[in-house]
Amino acid sequence: MTKILIAGASGYLGKYILEELNNWKIPAIALVRSPEKLKDLNLANIKIVQVEVTRPETLRGVFKDVETVISTVGFTRQNDGFTYMDIDYQANVNVLQEAERAGVRKFIYVSVLDGDILRHLKFTEAKERFVEALKASGLEYTIIRPNGFFPDLRDVLYMAEKGRVLLFGNGDSKLNPIHGADLAEVCIRAIAQKEKEIAVGGPDILTQNEIAEMALCAWNKPANIVELPGWIRSLILKTAKIFLPEQRFGPLEFFLTLMTRDRIATRYGTRRLQDFFNQEVQLIKQQSNQK
């Protein structure tokens, strides 16, 4: 029977993809380096295989009868000595080469919205290099280009807890962030779709000011948004480039660059940012009550 293989299955998006495949009873293989990360999920229909995507020899034989690969492998918050090139590029190349060897039909890769335009940034450079390798491979492919994920807006929520949110510029730039469960549906639909690139975001197009207001509202705090001048942003970027390691500079550079431009992709899904913020606040309050 044909199968779907998920690389990066233990990550934020990977777990939602597994749950969706499991719910539909679609036979699937989950590649993980730490199987314990999936122990809280009920994945009766998923075969979990322990590998190291950075070590191609561990992938041998695992792709037998696989029809489509979905890779969400990416260097995000990990602190394990690897670089963007090691993971976003080389680890994905390792997965791609094994897919080619095994005769996989299609490869779906999750990059980032506007990654091709912003490829000069640390966060996107290696991803886009992999996109080129995938396009050159001859395999059928789809590149998913999602807008920001809800959890990446937690920093706004943490600022809001203190009663004030700092923004660069006038806070008018817009984006439509997306929930992992909605994005998982897009990834799975892509298995049977012909589109080579899918740019996608969540259902609501929000300004930075609206996101800040939602975060303050989740804490039941009045609107208190402070707009910082653009030169402070440039100064932070220049200083951070000198002093921060790559894995901390990359997301900061990406975040500060995106704050000043509109990022809108095709709207998809039903999950709302205000609900996510409200749930996160409940969790934070419960955790502090248990201490």
Ligand X SMILES: NC(=O)c1ccc[n+]([C@@H]2O[C@H](COP(=O)([O-])OP(=O)(O)OC[C@H]3O[C@@H](n4cnc5c(N)ncnc54)[C@H](OP(=O)(O)O)[C@@H]3O)[C@@H](O)[C@H]2O)c1
Binding footprint of ligand X on the chain (CB under 6 A): 8, 10-14, 33-34, 37, 53-54, 72-78, 80, 82, 87, 110, 112, 146, 148-149, 152
Q: Which is nearer to ligand X, 68 or 247 (CB)?
A: 247
What minimum distance in Å lies between the beta carbon of 284 and ligand X? 20
CB count in 10 Å sphere of residue 179: 21
Judged by CB, which is closer to ligand X: 164, or 174?
A: 174
Q: Give the H/E segment covering residue 231.
A: helix 230-243
CA distance 111 to 143: 7
Rank residues 138 and 155 by Cβ distance to ligand X and give the closer one.
155
Residue 186 or 218 with smaller CB distance to ligand X: 186
Shortest distance in whole angstroms from residue 104 CB to ligand X: 19
CB closer to ligand X, 12 vs 219: 12
Q: Which amino acid is at 212?
A: A
Residue 282 C-beta: closest distance to ligand X, Å? 22
Cβ 140 to ligand X shortest distance, Å: 20
Q: What whole-number distance in Å separates Cα of residue 82 and Cα of residue 28?
A: 28
223: Cα within 13 Å, side-chain hemisphere? 9
Cα maximum dimension of the chain: 58
Q: Is 225 in a helix, a strand, or coil?
A: strand
> Which phi and psi (to 5°) does residue 248 adopt?
-100, -30
Smallest separation, CB 163 to ligand X (Å): 25
Give buried/exposed letters for 229-261 (b at 16+ CB in 10 A, else e).
eeeebeeeeeeeeeeeeebebbbbbbeebbbee
How many other CB atoms are there within 10 angstroms of residue 12's CB atom?
Answer: 17
Q: How far does Cα 35 stand from its chain's mean position?
A: 20
Nearer to ligand X, 162 or 261 (CB): 261
Q: Long-range contacts made by residues 46-50, C-beta under 8 angstroms, separation at least 24?
A: 46/18, 46/21, 46/22, 48/9
CB of 149 to ligand X, least distance (A): 4
Q: Which is nearer to ligand X, 148 or 171 (CB)?
A: 148
Q: What amino acid is encoded at 80 in this protein?
A: D
- Least distance from C-beta 126 to ligand X, angstroms? 10
Smaller CB separation from ligand X, 76 or 207: 76
- The answer to whether 201 and 153 have CB atoms below 8 angstroms apart is no
| Least distance in angstroms from the C-beta of 35 to ligand X | 10
